[in-house]
Amino acid sequence: MSTTTTVTAPTDAELLRAAADHARHQDTAALLSALLPGLDGVELRALTDRCRFAHTALLVFPPDAGALRAMLAGAGLAPEAAARPSTVVRERLAVRHGRDAAELEVGILRPAVTGADGEQRVVEVFALTVPPGSGLAGLAARERAAQHEAHLGFEVRQPDPLLLRGLCALLARHGARPDGGGYNPHEDGTVLYFTAPDDSKAGCPRIELYAPGDHRELLAEHLARHRTEQPAEVLLRQLTGAWTTQALGAFAELGVPEAMDARVPRSAEQVAAAVGADPETLRSLLRYLAMLGTVVPDGGGFRLSPAGELLRADAAGSLRPLSLLYAGPFYRSFGGLAGTVRTGEAAFDRLFGENHFDHFARDPDLAELFDRSMAASTRMFDPLPGHPVVRAAASAGGPRTVVDLAGGTGELLSRLLAAHPALRGVLLERPHVVDAAREFLDAAGCGDRARCLAGTFADVPPGGDVYLLSRVLHDWDDAHCRGILRHLAAAMPPHADLLVVERLLPEDGSPSLATAWDLHMRCNVGGRERTAGQYARLFADAGLELLRHDPLPLDARVLHVRKSPADRTG
């Protein structure tokens, strides 16, 4: 005997209540991260600084104005006195269903809600009146099922054409596709629609960028991309990616961010005089960087955007060292990528005659640049002081030791020690890094609780309670990783925990920063990124067991590892 379950489609009232709850409980950063899972931290900050989550939108089909007011009240929304005409949605419906736009009476209402973050936003309700027996009933049924007009709206702050182009390019880079738009003369606003990326986790099919003002020239470009995919343009943008790397590197190398301000615009001539550059060529660079969102055109000059501020040497979490490294030695070796793909050998080693660790160790300036570049991504460490393994060690009642292997200058170790005064630390590093690590830990106020040891992975100190391997294993091929992990397993007491910080390649092939870094590691370092399953097998080969992995900022994960049960008791 079999039964058939009938799934009833949600009513307009139910959809409206869900949309209102969504608008109340979301915030800009979390929603953008869900919409565009491939965003890195810098891109997310650039987006959140330039636009805000403004509304959740849907299209409903009330039989009359009274029914619409009742639906709004049922969703806890205050009805407005009257709806304003919706030019954009009316035209989209007419095109999609082969109707005369004049017969489609579509209005917009925007009842306000307060988000969980305290932000004021609205539920954007498009309403097409469909009286009982109307010839529009079939259209309403199809639209209600497909939810073509449901979207998440982001309002662009202080829009200008270059900024809007940069935002559109960023969305496109992460898989969002142009999906129409329009200019609404009733409110003097320009709307750009995008289809959400295939890997979006936001549960909504479309994204809206709303820009106050008349931006119909940009709108025409956007609509042209919607009408035709223009693969040649897409490929040209991808082929010029090297220009972006060098433009950002030159911007940082010349000290341009330090000669600019985030609030007061400066002319190209003023900035050129400050850094000793040619004014017209610098203007060209600034125009290009404005398109990327690194600087913002303002009047006749330019000012730093929040992303541009991160390229200042004195910025908290400065990415300047990373830009110089990627536009410098790693840029040169990436030119040999074809050889790496052909042979599996690192292009850096072929170009410079040695691996990057040895090469940087011979050049104090490069070694310092590399160490500072590693510190540029330390935002991924923010949650680690609160990790259950760390908190358990700190509250164990007796002195507990955290051992950071290849821990650089001590950024991660210092965070754990600062958060938990009961912990003691040991940092193992290459000889030329140890002095800098001692200085850093002393300056951080925890030098009296930390020892710095010079050595290799063969010198892993025994007796620790928590061991750290942060962004280490991806530097090496599988054979080297097994050697590192076996040394570590031999030194770990049975009760000890190991925390490994890495980016994980997605098992399902979805977009991830790890995919890009995997290519970089193979070409420039000789290492690779791995899936969780691949790491689990490496751990098992060393008598270790992967228990779980949890998300960190910048698309990283923290892997919790312990000795396998047989090794803990044997």
- CA–CA dist 223, 204 (Å, integer): 21
- CA–CA dist 12, 59 (Å, integer): 8
Give, in order, the Cα–Cα distances in Å from 262 to each of 26, 267, 272, 274: 28, 13, 17, 16
Cβ neighbours for 451, distance < 8 A, ≥ 6 positions apart? 425, 426, 427
Residue with tokens 């953008």: 32
Cβ neighbours for 158, distance < 8 A, ≥ 6 positions apart? 296
Give, in order, the Cα–Cα distances in Å from 50 to each of 55, 202, 296, 301: 16, 20, 10, 19
Which helix (H) or strand (E) element contains residue 245? helix 241-253
- CA–CA dist 111, 30 (Å, integer): 23
**14: how many CB neighbours lie within 10 A of its CB?**
14
Contact 90, 106 (CB under 8 A): yes
For residue 27, the SS3 value is coil
Q: Looking at the chain, how many residues does it have?
A: 570
Q: What type of residue is 540?
A: A
Burial 292-302 (b: 16+ CB within 10 A, else e): bbbbbbeeebb
Beta bridge partners of 194: 178, 207
Q: Of residues 174, 215, 359, 474, which has the active-site annotation? A: 474
- CA–CA dist 191, 493 (Å, integer): 61
Contact 327, 245 (CB under 8 A): yes
**Alpha-carbon torsion, ordered 487, 491, 494, 495, to 10 deg:** -110
Locate all alpha helices (DSSP H) within 376-508, ordered by sequence: 388-394, 411-419, 431-443, 478-491
**382: how many CB neighbours lie within 10 A of its CB?**
12
Contact 252, 244 (CB under 8 A): no
Please give the full DSSP string across 160-221, using - where no structure is assigned.
Answer: -HHHHHHHHHHHHHTT-EEEEEEEETTTTEEEEEEEPPTT--SS-SEEEEEEES--HHHHHH
Contact 203, 192 (CB under 8 A): no
Residue with tokens 């908190």: 391
Residue 522 DSSP symbol: I
Contact 11, 62 (CB under 8 A): no
Residue 158 DSSP symbol: S
Give catalytic status of residue 487 as yes or no.
no
Q: Which conformational region is residue 521 in: left (phi greater than 0), alpha (psi within -120 to 50 degrees), or beta?
A: alpha
Contact 58, 147 (CB under 8 A): yes
Catalytic annotation, residues: 474
